[in-house]
Amino acid sequence: MTAAPMESENQAWWGVTLPMTTPDGRSGSHTFVVQARTPEKAVKRSMKEALGKAARDHRRDASVDVHADSAVVTRWLPEGGLGG
């Protein structure tokens, strides 16, 4: 009998970049690296993280655009590089 694969074995690493705006109107981006099965799930996970206190503190209260069409998603390759 073989064991079922662990949850992380079925997931890939993704870099998800969301645009942000600082309280004084400057723009920038906040990138999250997350594990997910699909790019869509990676975006959802990143959006959830973006709304958390730790991420808001890191951005110094800059707001992120949490609309899926504004996210840039890149798959991270097993060798540690970025994919297309």
Q: Which amino acid is at 23?
A: P
The confidence score (pLDDT) of residue 84 equals 55
Q: CATH classification of 10-76, choosing from 1.10.101, 3.10.620, 3.10.20, 3.40.1550?
A: 3.10.20
Give the list of residues 6+ apart from residue 64 with CB closer than 8 angstroms, or none: 18, 19, 20, 30, 47, 50, 55
pLDDT tens for the chain, residues 1 to 84: 444 444 556 899 999 999 999 999 999 999 999 999 999 999 999 999 999 999 989 898 899 987 768 899 999 876 555 565
Q: Residue 7 in contact with residue 35, Cβ under 8 Å?
A: no
Domain boundaries, the chain: 10-76
Q: Residue 62 in contact with residue 28, Cβ under 8 Å?
A: yes
Distance CA 33, CA 25 (A): 25
